[in-house]
Amino acid sequence: MQAHTIPVFKPWVSEWLARSVIFFLLMTSLYSFALFTSPVAIMGFYGVEVTDIQYAMVVIYGSTVAFLALDFRMVKYFAPRKYLLTALAVNAGCSLLCFHTRNWSFFMVSQFIQGITCALMSGIVLNLIFPRLESTRARIIGYTILYGGIQTSVPIYSIYYSTVLHFFDFNWLFYGLDILLIILACIILITMNGKARFHKKIPLYQVDWIGYLLYIIFILTLGYILVYGRQLGWFGNPLIIVLSTGNTCVFLLFINRELKLKRPLINLHIFKAKNFVIGLLLLFTFYIFKGSTGLAYGYLEVVLGNDPLSTIPIWIAVITGTVIGMFVVSRFVLMGYNLIRIIIAGFGIMALYYGYMVLFVSVQGETIDFIIPLLIYGLATGVLFVPIVSFTISAVPPQIAVNASLVGIFARFTGFTSSLAFNNELQLYTRSAVREKVRETINEINPQFSATVQDAYQTYMNAGNDIYTAKYASSEYINELVKEQILARATRDYYDFMLIGVICVIGLLLVFPHIQNVVLKLRKGQIPY
């Protein structure tokens, strides 16, 4: 019997057990991404700034995106079990070294390597899931489970991380990953056939290694420019000018190379497919709006004083909303409802979330007040993701469908990275505007401000402090109070802009009639990333 005809799972493994192993593999591959749900913990442990944390996220995400394009060829050469075990061993080695070190440069290198292992594991998951799904119905359900797992992995791990960080240091999260990887390796050894393959073995000739190198350089440089651009002063800084010029040259070289090769890393003729570019723009836009929730979590932590454990109900609300949205919308897709109308409804739900935040963000509140809006946010992401992916994938012919997947995940990466730059820029603008208004209002001749200062001073004096301590403490209290007011007001202004943006997107979707009647065409050869 040829190796590629041997079942990947052993004969005694039931279908449900196989699906459970696949889902466990998917969730484990996403573990490292959720590390960044607690940026304050990373900053405190490594002594770095917010932009450094953001770029670390870009490194692991970009490494995953670039290697997925290469993995399409690699998975046709290596046996899945051996390939997986290698990835697990490398991932565990990086985590073990991170556990015993406290060096930021090494952490960044490990993030790049773990991004590769994530791509490798994700590629195996996709090859295990979608070729087994024969009908459109099965593929829609497969999309729902896959993207449901991806969307809920961050809040699920955030609950775990919040609990661990409440009792241990940040590096113990790497120890937890090692335990998870060891368990998964044992499961793979027990359930998978060592000689099985997804395809007939194809030697690694004419692999576009140079294209991969250009691609990863372009991705990481683009991420650096977008993350550090504001901090460095954008094009007022020579470094940004040099990086932008060099990256443009790299991008043009990559395009020129891919158009000439017989077996390119990514077939760029995919852009000729009707409605494909619109689907990419929708993915990009979705990730811009999706990236705005970081400000909500920052508001809960800074203004309302939430500790990590107090945020767990918020994560549960996001998970619940996402699961409900995913499975409800999958039913509508299967019933043949218009994809664009479903997407419009999803953006409408997102607008509802922004509207709620605009009305209720203030310096006073409780965690319970924000369970409903974050549930709505989860519902919006659940409703939007499957229809947007379905719209994008169904626009391309099956013979180049895998390239649509590779370009699609690049669009998601670009949307995510752009959201970091956009959020940094917009938050700076809103905070500067609010700070200027506060400066005009709060001064010593303002009777309300003087009364507040005096009340704070008197409170500290009544507590038994001497005159100097009371004066200093009351001054610090007023400063913190003003900072909270600025952050709360800036957050509301920020969500005002996002609400306007969502409404504009809905309007654009309504005024383009040629995309209103897209027919869903999902074929067996189409594997989404």
pLDDT at 333 > cutoff 50: yes
Work out the pLDDT band at 248, boundaries 50, 70, 90. Answer: very high
Q: What is the identity of the amino acid at 511?
A: V
Note whether 179 and 311 are same-domain residues. no
Please state at what angle helix 339-360 crosses helix 276-290, rounded to 10 degrees: 20
Note whether 474 and 444 are same-domain residues. yes
- Cα 249 to Cα 23: distance, rounded to the nearest angstrom: 40
Burial of 400 (0-12, 13-18, 19+ CB in 10 A): middle
Least confident of 1-5, 230-234, 336-340: 1-5
Q: Between 120 and 481, whose confidence is greater?
A: 120
- Find out whether 264 and 403 touch, Cβ atoms under 8 Å: no
pLDDT at 47 > cutoff 90: no
> Tens digits of per-residue pLDDT, 456-476?
666 666 666 667 666 666 666
Work out the pLDDT band at 363, boundaries 50, 70, 90. Answer: low
Note whether 214 and 202 are same-domain residues. no
If one counts the domains in the chain, the total is 3
Question: To the nearest whole number, what is the mean pLDDT of the chain?
Answer: 81
- Find out whether 50 and 39 touch, Cβ atoms under 8 Å: yes
The predicted pLDDT at position 515 comes to 62
Note whether 392 and 275 are same-domain residues. yes
Mean of the pLDDT values across residues 239-268?
91
Last residue of a domain, one of 169, 190, 208: 208
pTM for this model (two decimals): 0.87
User: Mind spelling out the 3-state secondary structure of 54-67?
Assistant: HHHHHHHHHHHHHH
Note whether 191 and 244 are same-domain residues. no
- Domain of residue 393 covers 269-528
Work out the pLDDT band at 447, boundaries 50, 70, 90. Answer: low
Phi, psi of 377 (to 5 degrees): -60, -45
pLDDT at 215 > cutoff 90: yes
Residue with tokens 């402090």: 465
Which residues, in sequence order, are CB contacts of 455 under 8 Å at separation 6+?
none
Which CATH number does the domain housing residue 307 bear? 1.20.1250.20
Last residue of a domain, one of 171, 189, 208: 208
Note whether 248 and 377 are same-domain residues. no
- Find out whether 44 and 167 touch, Cβ atoms under 8 Å: no
The predicted pLDDT at position 125 comes to 83
The predicted pLDDT at position 346 comes to 92
Q: Identify any residues that bridge with 9 across adjacent strands, giving them in sequence order.
A: 192
Q: How many residues in the chain?
A: 529
pLDDT at 386 > cutoff 90: no
Mean of the pLDDT values across residues 14-34?
85
Q: Which residues of 60-81 are buried (b: 16+ CB within 10 A; e: fewer)?
A: bbbbbbbbbbbbbbebbebbbb
Note whether 195 and 213 are same-domain residues. no
Q: Which helix (H) or strand (E) holds 430?
A: helix 401-441
The predicted pLDDT at position 315 comes to 86
Which of 4-8, 98-102, 271-275, 434-438 is modeled with the greatest confidence?
98-102
Least confident of 4-18, 65-79, 217-231: 4-18
CA angle at 247 for the pair 222 and 59, rounded to the nearest 5°: 30
Pair of tokens at residue 52: 């450094």
Last residue of a domain, one of 167, 185, 208: 208
pLDDT at 528 > cutoff 60: no
Q: What is the tally of helices (H) and strands (E) in the chain?
A: 17, 0
pLDDT at 101 > cutoff 50: yes
Q: What is the identity of the amino acid at 470?
A: A
Rg (CA), the chain: 25
Q: How many CA atoms lie within 13 A of 50 on its CB side?
A: 9
Note whether 184 and 218 are same-domain residues. no
> Tens digits of per-residue pLDDT, 476-525?
666 666 676 777 777 788 888 889 999 999 998 888 766 655 555 555 54
Residue among 485, 452, 486, 456 at smallest CA distance from 473? 456
Which of 101-110, 264-273, 309-318 is modeled with the greatest confidence?
101-110
pLDDT at 193 > cutoff 50: yes
Note whether 195 and 289 are same-domain residues. no
Note whether 256 and 343 are same-domain residues. no
Note whether 200 and 322 are same-domain residues. no
> Tens digits of per-residue pLDDT, 254-303?
999 988 888 888 888 888 877 788 888 888 888 888 877 777 777 777 66
Work out the pLDDT band at 368, boundaries 50, 70, 90. Answer: confident
Percent residues over pLDDT 90 in the chain: 20
pLDDT at 1 > cutoff 50: no
Note whether 214 and 321 are same-domain residues. no
Q: Identify any residues that bridge with 192 across adjacent strands, giving them in sequence order.
A: 9
> Tens digits of per-residue pLDDT, 145-167?
777 787 888 888 888 888 888 88
- Find out whether 67 and 119 touch, Cβ atoms under 8 Å: yes
